[in-house]
Structure 1
Amino acid sequence: MPTQHHLAALAAKTVAASVALACAFMLHRNPPVNVFTFEAAIAFESMLEEECYNAWFCRHLRCSQETFRKLCSMLRVRFPVKPYKKFSFERAVACTLFHLGSSVFFRETAQAFGVSKAWCIVNVNMLVRELAGMRATCIKLPQTPQEWDTIVNGFRQVRGFPFCCGAMDGTLIAINRPRDFEGWYNRKGSIVEREAFILPHSKLCCCF
């Protein structure tokens, strides 16, 4: 006749077998039906140190690898480190620059970097808000003759051009139609705002 110890051992074996059987069913997953993301063929983080990718950075992110690393170092101090994140902070910055520097939507940006559309939207908007808050430190117009003289002297020392405040460039930015929209049309009939920039020797942007 089975003793109490035998019954306890039998119960433990039954429970163990049931747990093992349940785990076996849980570990067996059906193949995915809907796959919305894919792993990037090239790990973006490995591209940061390879000089051969500098042309890719200039074409798609509108900056060199060195400039990209400097931008990441400026922004990283403003965000807490989260080690549990799947994607790196550099990939978030790259998504932001790729989205701002091209005419694609969030879906195409997310697909280019192997991330989800929701992740791309959250991180791009977060970084854009932070960049907008930093504009006073990077975009500054000199207010006094002494500040202009400092820029002129610095540009002469760096580039050898006297009486020059820097390299000037501009672009047209499409905007919503303002109330007094008659004077906002360009030659192509679009409502835009013209932005002119001067890049002095200090690499801080002067906006007009």
Structure 2
Amino acid sequence: MKNWLRGRESRSHMTLVRELRQSHQEDLFNYLRMSSETFNMLLTMVKPYISKMNTKMRQSINAEERLIATLRFLATGQSFEDLKFPTRISPQSLGVIIPETSKYICLVLKDCIKLPSSIEEWQEIARGYESRWHFPNCGGAIDGKHIRIRKPANSGSYYYNYKHYFSIVLMAIVNADYEFLYVDIGCNGRVSDGGVIEYTSFYNKLQNEQLNLPPNNMNKNNMNFVFVADDAFALHENVIKPYPQRNLTREERIFNYRLCRARRTVENAFGILSSRFRVLHTEINMKPEKIDYIVLALCCLHNLLKKKERAGYLPTQALVTEDLDFGRVVHGDLSEVNPLTSLQQGHSRNVCENAKLNRDKYKEYFMHDGAVSFQYNFVN
């Protein structure tokens, strides 16, 4: 061990963190992305899993140091070589500690991400979308995000995506309040024409009618219960996407606008995630299976902090908002969202007639019973 690393107990950033925890809560939040109370709760949960035994040779790196180093990595995206200076932990040890701690964060926070399993739970999600985004019978917004990675050894172009870098895909379903209901992580960036979602357990359950979605007679205007998506996804009886951007009628433009308002929740969720956890702005240099734990931990922490630290956690500058009076969309800082838009455009699909009819029903609803006054500002 290098001599300067031996001063970890007295000269690392732990002294600063303890001072911030005592009297500078705002700076602590900026440093760890959470308050002292939330940090203490998380430490209590993961401590049994990440604590190590001391030996005659040396003192172990304790659970608090491990968790703080991991949170700092997630917050900044610093390389292990850079992070070794404030933590006084060797890069080799950080390469073990951070994926391991992320894995156990996923374990203890696994209930933070939960796909509804009953009709009542789906209806609760739908009420949120109808009250906040004026879209009825909606179980969530679907989209994907490319996570930039260092090219794995001997992987060829397997992870090389259409944006010309290497990535894995985070596929997510989000509720009306920007919280993750479902995530699937790890599909290679070079996505097949079948689409990322078709490889997920969610899609399998949707195809086999195992999601326990509300039947039509329990939905507004007797319409299908749906998930909103963009052009990258196939139209399905329960997945609704915009009309193609060619020769649109006024009614179709209004439908596309109303769907876009609801679907924007998932883009905003990715924007919040990237804004708070800057590791998503970097090229993550780990094995893909370790990166899966990193990304899943971020999603779990996002949901936890969204509930417990709402006022401090939600960065409004990362959101896409609307000026309803002037019909103007105000774009937030979504430069690192990297959505799956256009992944599958140009590939013909056999869309069942029922899926098209369902979309037309929503179009008619938005022009009559479900019309809102401001929708015309955005299409005229």
**TM-score grouping bracket, smaller chain normalisation:** 0.5 to 0.7
Which of residues 75, 79, 89 is equivalent to 2:46?
A: 75
Superposition map of 1:16-27 within 5 A = none
Is the contact made by 1:151 and 1:165 (CA closer than 8 Å) also made in structure 2? yes
Is the contact made by 2:47 and 2:63 (CA closer than 8 Å) also made in structure 1? yes
* Corresponding residue for residue 11 of structure 1: none
CA RMSD, Structure 1 to Structure 2 (Å):
4.3
Kindly provide the CA deviation profile for residues 103-137 of structure 1, in whole angstroms up to 9, marking residues without a partner as x: 32223222112344455344324312323444643
Aligned length: 168
CA distance in 2: counterparts of 1:138 and 1:165, whole angstroms: 17
Q: Structure 1 99/37 Cα, relative in aligned 2: closer, same or farther at 3 Å?
A: farther
TM-score by length of 1: 0.55
Consecutive unaligned residues in structure 1, runs of 5 or more: 1-32
* Corresponding residue for residue 198 of structure 1: 174
* Corresponding residue for residue 68 of structure 2: 94
CA distance in 1: counterparts of 2:122 and 2:89, whole angstroms: 45
CA distance in 2: counterparts of 1:43 and 1:173, whole angstroms: 31
CA distance in 2: counterparts of 1:48 and 1:200, whole angstroms: 33
Is the contact made by 1:185 and 1:192 (CA closer than 8 Å) also made in structure 2? yes
Is the contact made by 2:173 and 2:180 (CA closer than 8 Å) also made in structure 1? no
Greater Cα radius of gyration, structure 1 or 2? 1
* Corresponding residue for residue 21 of structure 2: 48
1:35 corresponds to which letter in structure 2? W
* Corresponding residue for residue 109 of structure 1: 83
Is the contact made by 2:5 and 2:88 (CA closer than 8 Å) also made in structure 1? no
Q: Structure 1 205/71 Cα, relative in aligned 2: closer, same or farther at 3 Å?
A: farther
Consecutive unaligned residues in structure 2, runs of 5 or more: 185-380
TM-score by length of 2: 0.34
* Corresponding residue for residue 94 of structure 2: 120
Kindly provide the CA deviation profile for residues 65-116 of structure 1, in whole angstroms up to 9, marking residues without a partner as x: 4432332222124455868956542221110111233332223222112344
Q: Structure 1 129/207 Cα, relative in aligned 2: closer, same or farther at 3 Å?
A: closer
Q: Structure 1 94/49 Cα, relative in aligned 2: closer, same or farther at 3 Å?
A: same
1:120 corresponds to which letter in structure 2? L
Superposition map of 1:26-37 within 5 A = 34-37=3-6
Kindly provide the CA deviation profile for residues 19-57 of structure 1, in whole angstroms up to 9, marking residues without a partner as x: xxxxxxxxxxxxxx953454136342332243x243443
